[in-house]
């Protein structure tokens, strides 16, 4: 599925980026960009521990430029992203490693307006099962009320027995039209 019917595709539906005389997929373009990046790269000499001792859990939505929106620099935070910014077992795994092995103390949860999970249902899993013959082991974690979903995410973090630091867990909704964060009261 693509967002534009005019996106050129090649074999296996790979999105093509080439113009006249240039051929390649989006991934080819990314690899070329990395080569240019690496040519001028200098090891910043950073530790894997985030300078600000914070982990940010957010949606994978391409409209969220978290570093710019939060005034973050390279090395400031751990960023954990997935569809919806949902606090799944894997997010708790990453947060546990972030806290216990790499020293983070705070958690910021960022959902956003206009999230695609607001229009999906668990029927999505059923449709996948019908299509591929196997039911996904994971839940879609769709929701109708973004504020309530942030509250649920905060509760999942605060009640995890694996996390050492749960007193500074805050949740927000990022407005994709204005760029502003709105804090959600956990109550």
pLDDT at 2: 38
User: What span, in angstroms and rounded, lies between the C-alpha atoms of 22 and 33?
Assistant: 15
Arithmetic mean of pLDDT, 111-127: 95
User: What span, in angstroms and rounded, lies between the C-alpha atoms of 55 and 104?
Assistant: 7
pLDDT at 24: 87
User: What span, in angstroms and rounded, lies between the C-alpha atoms of 69 and 76?
Assistant: 13
Arithmetic mean of pLDDT, 138-152: 96
Tens-digit pLDDT profile for residues 31-65: 999 999 999 999 999 999 999 999 999 999 999 99
pLDDT at 81: 98
Task: Give the dihedral of Cα atoms 126, 132, 135, 136; nearest 10 deg.
Answer: -100
Task: Return the sign of the alpha-carbon dihedral for residues 134, 135, 138, 143.
Answer: positive
pLDDT at 68: 98
The residue to which tokens 């992203």 are assigned: 81
């Amino acid at each position: 599925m693509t967002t534009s019917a005019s996106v050129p595709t090649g074999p296996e539906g790979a999105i093509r980026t080439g113009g006249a005389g240039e051929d390649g997929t989006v991934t080819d373009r990314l690899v070329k960009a990395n080569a240019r990046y690496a040519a001028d790269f200098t090891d910043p000499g950073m530790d894997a521990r985030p300078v600000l001792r914070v982990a940010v859990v957010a949606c994978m939505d391409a409209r969220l430029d978290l570093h710019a929106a939060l005034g973050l620099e390279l090395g400031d935070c751990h960023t954990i992203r997935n569809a919806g910014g949902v606090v799944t077992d894997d997010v708790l795994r990453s947060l546990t490693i972030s806290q216990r092995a790499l020293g983070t103390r705070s958690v910021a949860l960022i959902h956003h307006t206009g999230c695609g999970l607001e229009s999906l249902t668990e029927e999505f899993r059923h449709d996948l099962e019908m299509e591929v013959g196997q039911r996904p082991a994971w839940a879609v974690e769709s929701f109708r009320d973004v504020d309530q979903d942030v509250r649920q995410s905060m509760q999942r973090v605060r009640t995890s027995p694996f996390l050492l630091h749960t007193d500074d867990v805050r949740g927000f909704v990022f407005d994709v039209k204005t760029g502003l964060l709105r804090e959600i009261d956990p109550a």
